[in-house]
Amino acid sequence: MNNAYFVAGTDTDVGKTVCSCAILYAAQQANITMVGYKPIASGSENTPQGLRNSDALLLQQASSVSVTYDDVNPYTFYRPVSPHIAANEEHKTIEFDLLSQGLTKLKTQADCVLIEGAGGWRVPINNTEYLSSWVKQEQLAVILVVGIKLGCLNHALLTAEAILADGLTVVGWIANQIHPVTDNYTAMITWLEQHLPGKKIAEIPYIPINTSDKETTTHQQLAQYIDLSLLSER
């Protein structure tokens, strides 16, 4: 197993956080110390402690070591928009050096760091750079989350091709059923198994979540679908 993985999505709202938390809880069950890292998060709430993003909080809670919120999420933006728009609105600059410093610090606290991306692979952080540029700089192994829905085959293959074109490796992928009923589900999974690089490390079923307490419990239950051993196979 590598000391860091980047969780990329085929689009926004495909379940990166659900899958990331499932991986983190699976690591706990396997006695692997793994910590979640959400370098950039848009869409947050004002709290007495400051801006807090719900996805980053879930990653913090699912981590097997105790870390501060700022360690998990160095760039927190209020509006749920693309990071380059949010940063511009708040007069901030997203710096790769800060992202790398945060990753280096977390690597000293756990066996593995699980880094959740923002949006899709080519999400911009300014007018000339993308979050994927930082992933390439760090030479991170990638886990791809595919939200199973109409259009996902095209999105998944294009994303995988872009990752490979950046010289990176898709070490595994997760099929996440984001709707209660999905037409041609089995046929789509079969096609993805035949065409995507890397191992299918999980099929996550659709489970409705109504409250934050149930959300945590559900993520713990979803850990059973994750096969971490496949990440060590090449």
User: Tens of pLDDT along 28-65?
Assistant: 999 999 999 999 999 999 999 999 999 999 999 999 99
Tokens in use for 77? 């933006």
CA atoms within 13 A on the CB side of 233: 11
- The response to whether 116 counts as a known ligand-binding position is yes
DSSP annotation of 134 = H
For 144-191, what is each residue's pLDDT tens digit? Answer: 999 999 999 999 999 999 999 999 999 999 999 999 999 999 999 999
Range of the domain at 203: 4-232
Separation CA 41–CA 38 (nearest Å): 7
39 is in an annotated binding site: no
Which of the residues 38, 149, 200, 214 is marked catalytic?
38
| Residue 18 marked in a binding site | yes
Q: Looking at the whole model, is its pTM more than 0.85?
A: yes
d(CA 19, CA 23): 6
Q: Are 163 and 142 in contact (CB under 8 A)?
A: yes
Number of separate domains in the chain: 1
**Which residue is associated with the tokens 């708040």?**
90
CA-based angle 116:122:123, to the nearest 5?
65
> Which CATH number characterizes residue 83's domain?
3.40.50.300
Per the annotation, does 15 bind a ligand? yes
| pLDDT for res 209 | 67
Residues forming a β-bridge with 174: 145, 202
Q: Is residue 214 over pLDDT 60?
A: no
Residue 38 annotated in active site: yes
